[in-house]
Structure 1
Amino acid sequence: MARWLACRGGHLGKFGCTCASLHSKLGIADISSVLRSRRLRWYGHVERAIGSINSITKLQLPGNRGRGRPKKSWSECVKKDIKECGLTNVDPLDGAAWRRCVKTGRLLPTPVSGNPAAV
Structure 2
Amino acid sequence: MGVNLATDLQRLRRNDRAMIRWICGAKPQDETPSETLHAKLGLVDIVSVLWSCRLRWYGHVERASGCINTITKMQLPGSRGRGRPRKSWMECVRKDIKVCGLTSVNPLDRAAWKRGVTTSRLLPTPVSGTPAAV
TM-score (norm 2): 0.65
More moved, 70-79 vs 1-10: 1-10
Q: 2:97 aligns with which of 82, 86, 98?
A: 82
Structure 2 partner of 1:32: 47
Paired AA for residue 22 in structure 1: L
Which residue matches 2:59? Answer: 44
% identity of equivalent residues: 61
Alignment-mate amino acid for residue 61 of structure 1: L
Consecutive unaligned residues of structure 1, counting only runs of 5 or more, are 107-119
Residue 70 (structure 1) aligned with residue 85 (structure 2): yes
Match for residue 103 of structure 1 among 107, 118, 134? 118
SS at match of 1:105: helix
Preserved CA contact (<8 Å) 1:47 1:93: yes
Q: RMSD of the alignment, in Å?
A: 2.6
Larger radius of gyration: 1
The size of the alignment, in residue pairs, is 105
Distance 1:81 1:4, change over 3 A: closer
- Which structure 2 residue ranges, 5 or more long, are not aligned? 1-15, 122-134
Match of 2:7 in 1: none
